[in-house]
Structure 1
């Protein structure tokens, strides 16, 4: 995929530290020398092209409630149906497919551990599949940013 100049600058500058203010799109536009509409149009194009997975904050889950990684072993014939059911829960994010017996993985986030347990029970009842609950024991911080600048 070929990125235009604004797309490249937007991705390079805002992989980390989005502006926290009442109008982040305008703050980004001011810094990039364009309009807020151009920033939003650029983000829409990148999303439509599959170049973005999300735009938003990453929270320290232990400060904002509770979360857990969950895996389901879904028969291939039910994969789309189960993914659709799981995606209906507002607590679910980062839902993705893996090549493994446990092939549907997602993160549950809620106000406390009890709410996650209720959600896990409901997912099991709704899908008929037993969720594998994998709460984080220790955080490993990694930088998920990638430079788009040419390197020698």
Structure 2
């Protein structure tokens, strides 16, 4: 169940997340709750897949290099292969698509050589080819969602 604290966290901190050594304490102070309440609420949002991560959104290729990647994986192996891919720290998310190329993910690396090494390791570990689709043109879409606080 979505609580008022959950909605406040979602509304107020999709942007303007505190950049400090103690961001959760800063949020708690602003909202008049304890730091552990903030951490617990964010954990609940993560465990129920309302949020998937807390972290910065860095434009592609501003720090290192990145590529959108896709793999054609048999349905029976998709979950296991996705777990292998997700274990790489250079992979920031992956998702399933209804297509022959059914596993899509983004790889971010320190440089072009490192990116190619990650792709080669994924291919070697999984036994499947990785199709790399590097960024050609950058179209920035700024997306956030406002929660209706009257439903709590």
TM-score, normalised by the number of residues in structure 2 = 0.91
Query: What secondary structure, in the 3-state scheme, does the structure 1 residue paired with 2:37 have?
Result: helix
Query: What secondary structure, in the 3-state scheme, does the structure 2 residue paired with 1:28 have?
Result: helix
73-82 or 142-151: bigger deviation: 142-151
Q: Are 1:48 and 2:47 an aligned pair?
A: yes
Measured in 2, the distance between the counterparts of 1:90 and 1:4 equals 32
Measured in 1, the distance between the counterparts of 2:74 and 2:33 equals 48
The CA deviation at 1:149 is: 2.7
8 Å Cα contact 2:73/2:102 also seen in 1: yes
Deviation readout 1:12-35 (Å, 9 max, x if unpaired) = 001112110111001111111211
CA RMSD of aligned residues (A): 1.6
Match of 1:145 in 2: 144
The CA deviation at 1:74 is: 0.3
Deviation readout 1:48-68 (Å, 9 max, x if unpaired) = 222111111112332211111
The CA deviation at 1:89 is: 1.6
Match of 1:80 in 2: 79
The CA deviation at 1:139 is: 1.6
Measured in 2, the distance between the counterparts of 1:6 and 1:150 equals 10
Q: How many residues align?
A: 150
Match of 1:124 in 2: 123
Q: Are 1:22 and 2:13 an aligned pair?
A: no
Flag the structure with more relative contact order, 1 or 2, with Cα contacts below 8 A and sequence separation at least 6.
2
Measured in 1, the distance between the counterparts of 2:108 and 2:75 equals 26
Measured in 1, the distance between the counterparts of 2:85 and 2:31 equals 38
Query: What secondary structure, in the 3-state scheme, does the structure 1 residue paired with 2:61 have?
Result: helix
Change (3 A) 1:78 1:12: same
Structure 1 unaligned blocks of 5 or more: none
Query: What secondary structure, in the 3-state scheme, does the structure 1 residue paired with 2:62 have?
Result: helix
